[in-house]
C-alpha cells in the first residue's frame, strides 16, 4: 500500500509498505462472502492508518504533537460507537415505533432500511459542506481519475488523467450504499425480532454476512461489461459519488499519481 501527502512546503511525501492479506496466509479467508468480511476489515485498518499519517504530514507536526497509540485506539472506538448508534440503534428505535401501527414484518423492516439510507445520505450531504472534507472529496476524485487512466492503459500523467470521470463503480461510497440496500433485503427476509434489544443484536450479528454479500456485488461491478442487473444495482452508488467525489485540481491529481506509481513500482509493474 502507498499513501502520498502534499506537505505544507509543497513537497510530496510517500509512505510505502507491503500488505499481506489473511487470504494469502489462510486460503479459507479467500472463499466467497468470507473474503468480503476480511477485505472490509483490512481496508478499514489501512484507511484509518492512512488518515492518521496524512493528518500528521499535512499538518507538519513533530513527533511530540502526533497522535499517540491510545489516542488512535480511542478515536477508532468512538467512530465505531457512532456508526452503531447512527446506523443500527437509531433506525431500530424508529422501527420499534413503526411496528406499533404497522403489523407487517416486511414493511417494518423496509421502513427501518429506508430510514437508515436516509440517515446515510443526510450524513454525506452534511459533511460535504465542511471545507476540509471538500478537499478530501477532491482527492477522492483525483484517485478515481488516475485509476481510470491506469485501467485504460494510459501513461500516468496529469494531462492523461484529467479528462476521466470522477465516478468509479468500485468506489467505497458505492460499496457502503450497497451494504445499506443489502441490509434491507437480508433483515426483511430473515429476521422476525420485535424488541429493540433483539433487533439491535441480530443486526450486529448479521453485519458480516451483509458485508460479505455486498463485497461480491461490488466485485462483479468492477468487471468489464458487468451484467445489466449489476449495473442497475450500482447506479445509485454512482449517483451518490457526485457528493463524495469532486473535481480535483492538478496538484491533487499529481499526488494521486505519486501514490499509484509507488504501488505499481513496489509490485514490479
Cell (9 digits) for 120: 446515510
31 found inside a domain: yes
With respect to residue 9, please indicate whether it lies within any of the assigned structural domains.
yes
Provide the grid cell at 199.
Answer: 433487533
Helix, strand counts (H, E) of the chain: 11, 2
Q: Which three cell numbers stand for residue 70?
A: 491510545
Which range of residues forms the domain containing residue 18? 1-67
Q: What is the pLDDT of residues 217-228, one digit of tens each?
A: 888 877 777 777
Residue 98 lies in a domain: no
**Tens-digit pLDDT profile for residues 131-185:** 989 999 999 999 999 999 999 999 999 999 999 999 988 888 888 888 888 888 8
| 8 found inside a domain | yes
Residue 162's φ and ψ, nearest 5 degrees, are -55, -40
Question: Which helix or strand (DSSP H or E) is residue 165 part of?
Answer: none
Q: What is the pLDDT of residue 62?
A: 65
Spell out the residues 6+ positions from residue 154 whose beta carbon is closer than 8 angstroms to its own.
Answer: 160, 161
The overall pTM is greater than 0.85 = no
Give a yes or no: residue 23 inside a domain: yes
Looking at the structure of the chain, the number of domains it has is: 1
The residues that bridge with 11 in the sheet, in sequence order, are: none
In a domain, 199, yes or no: no
Q: Is residue 39 part of a domain?
A: yes
pLDDT in tens, the chain (269 residues): 999 999 888 999 999 999 888 888 899 999 998 998 998 888 888 888 888 888 888 776 666 666 677 777 788 889 889 989 999 999 999 988 998 888 788 888 888 889 998 998 999 999 989 998 999 999 999 999 999 999 999 999 999 999 999 998 888 888 888 888 888 888 877 666 678 888 889 888 888 999 999 888 888 877 777 777 777 877 888 888 988 999 999 999 999 999 999 999 998 87
Structural domain contains residue 266? no
C-alpha 156/C-alpha 262 separation (Å) is 12
Amino acid at each position: 500500500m502507498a499513501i502520498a501527502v502534499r506537505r505544507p512546503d509543497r513537497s510530496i511525501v510517500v509512505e510505502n509498505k507491503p500488505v499481506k492479506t489473511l487470504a494469502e496466509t489462510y486460503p479459507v479467508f479467500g472463499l466467497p462472502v468470507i473474503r468480503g468480511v476480511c477485505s472490509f476489515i483490512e481496508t478499514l485498518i489501512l484507511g484509518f492508518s492512512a488518515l492518521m499519517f496524512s493528518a500528521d504530514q499535512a499538518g507538519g507536526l513533530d513527533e511530540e504533537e502526533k497522535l499517540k497509540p491510545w489516542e488512535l485506539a480511542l478515536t477508532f472506538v468512538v467512530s465505531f460507537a457512532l456508526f452503531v448508534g447512527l446506523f443500527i440503534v437509531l433506525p431500530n428505535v424508529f422501527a420499534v415505533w413503526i411496528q406499533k401501527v404497522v403489523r407487517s414484518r416486511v414493511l417494518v423492516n423496509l421502513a427501518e432500511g429506508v430510514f437508515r439510507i436516509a440517515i446515510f445520505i443526510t450524513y454525506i450531504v452534511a459533511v460535504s459542506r465542511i471545507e476540509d472534507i471538500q478537499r478530501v472529496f477532491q482527492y477522492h476524485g483525483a484517485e478515481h481519475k488516475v485509476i481510470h487512466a491506469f485501467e485504460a492503459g494510459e501513461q500516468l500523467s496529469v494531462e492523461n488523467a484529467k479528462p476521466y470521470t470522477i465516478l468509479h463503480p468500485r468506489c467505497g461510497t458505492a460499496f457502503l450504499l450497497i451494504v445499506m440496500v443489502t441490509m434491507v433485503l437480508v433483515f426483511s427476509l430473515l429476521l422476525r425480532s420485535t424488541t429493540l434489544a433483539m433487533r439491535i443484536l441480530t443486526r450486529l450479528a448479521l453485519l458480516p454476512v451483509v458485508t460479505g454479500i455486498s463485497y461480491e456485488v461490488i466485485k462483479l461491478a468492477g468487471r468489464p461489461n458487468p451484467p445489466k442487473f449489476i449495473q442497475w444495482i450500482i447506479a445509485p452508488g454512482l449517483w451518490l459519488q457526485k457528493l463524495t467525489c469532486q473535481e480535483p485540481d492538478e496538484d491533487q491529481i499529481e499526488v494521486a499519481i505519486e501514490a499509484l506509481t509507488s504501488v505499481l513500482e513496489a509490485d514490479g509493474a
